[in-house]
């Protein structure tokens, strides 16, 4: 059985906080593969995405480049939102019955798990592994399979959007290919 980690998010835009967490997960859990899963519409952020789903996915692809073992999972892009993890897991199991899936969640996202659609079914279809995120309290949930450490980076996509909108540099906050894309497509200029 291959062990596949899923890091979902709105990735509006993807940044080094996501990438360092993904790398730490792959190492700590011994993942065979790590998939980044951009949501068409994150249910708890309905109507509040700044870049389009296609642009957010483009930036994920640019950020991971050709890195071995990291892939862009496009399945949520192929159906209309809101993007529920339970639907994604059903589809991934159907597509890949030989895989064992681990949903990777920062502590802020893990705290929201009870508010997801069919949380019990999510826990039946996948393991859940949680990592710390600066500013978010530790999650104390017995449903969590594993916890692992991630170097603390106080970076958020919200802060990046604010920096762009106020004319500040985002160099080193995101991979260069992502900041080039943001500039080329005039993203986040008015979104605070």
Footprint on this chain of ligand ATP (rule: CB under 6 A): 9-12, 17-18, 21, 105-106, 108-109, 133, 150, 153, 155-158
Say how far apart CA 163 and CA 80 lie, in whole Å.
30
CB 20 within 8 A of CB 151: yes
The nearest distance, CB 7 to ligand ATP, in angstroms, is 6
User: On the CB side of 113, how many CA atoms lie within 13 Å of its CA?
Assistant: 25
The nearest distance, CB 62 to ligand ATP, in angstroms, is 16
The nearest distance, CB 9 to ligand ATP, in angstroms, is 3
CB nearer to ligand ATP: give 92 or 128: 128
CB nearer to ligand ATP: give 5 or 9: 9
Say how far apart CA 102 and CA 79 lie, in whole Å.
22
CB 107 within 8 A of CB 139: yes
The nearest distance, CB 107 to ligand ATP, in angstroms, is 7
User: On the CB side of 147, how many CA atoms lie within 13 Å of its CA?
Assistant: 11
CB nearer to ligand ATP: give 47 or 98: 47
Position of minimal CB gap to ligand ATP: 106
Cβ-count burial of 43 within 10 angstroms (0-12 exposed, 13-18 middle, 19+ buried)? Answer: middle
Question: Residue 113, SS3?
Answer: helix
CB nearer to ligand ATP: give 92 or 139: 139
CB nearer to ligand ATP: give 97 or 178: 178
The nearest distance, CB 100 to ligand ATP, in angstroms, is 19
DSSP 72: E
126-137: b or e for each residue (b if 16 or more CB lie within 10 Å)?
Answer: bbbbbbbbeeee
The nearest distance, CB 65 to ligand ATP, in angstroms, is 19
CB nearer to ligand ATP: give 77 or 153: 153
């Amino acid at each position: 059985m291959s062990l596949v980690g899923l890091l979902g998010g709105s990735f509006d835009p993807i940044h080094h906080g996501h990438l360092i967490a993904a790398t730490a997960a792959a190492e700590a859990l011994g993942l065979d593969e790590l998939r980044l899963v951009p949501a068409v519409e994150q249910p708890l952020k309905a109507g509040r995405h700044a870049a389009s789903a296609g642009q957010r996915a483009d930036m994920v692809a640019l950020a991971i480049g050709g890195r071995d073992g990291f892939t862009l999972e496009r399945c949520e892009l192929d159906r209309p939102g809101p993007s529920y993890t339970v639907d994604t897991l059903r589809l991934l199991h159907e597509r890949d019955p030989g895989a064992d899936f681990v949903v990777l969640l920062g502590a802020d996202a893990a705290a929201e798990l009870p508010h997801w659609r069919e949380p019990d079914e999510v826990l039946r279809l996948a393991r859940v592994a949680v990592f710390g995120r600066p500013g978010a309290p530790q999650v104390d949930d017995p449903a969590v399979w594993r916890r692992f450490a991630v170097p603390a980076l106080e970076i958020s996509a919200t802060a990046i959007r604010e920096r762009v909108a106020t004319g500040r540099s985002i160099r080193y906050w995101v991979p260069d290919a992502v900041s080039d894309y943001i500039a080329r497509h005039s993203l986040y200029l008015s979104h605070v």
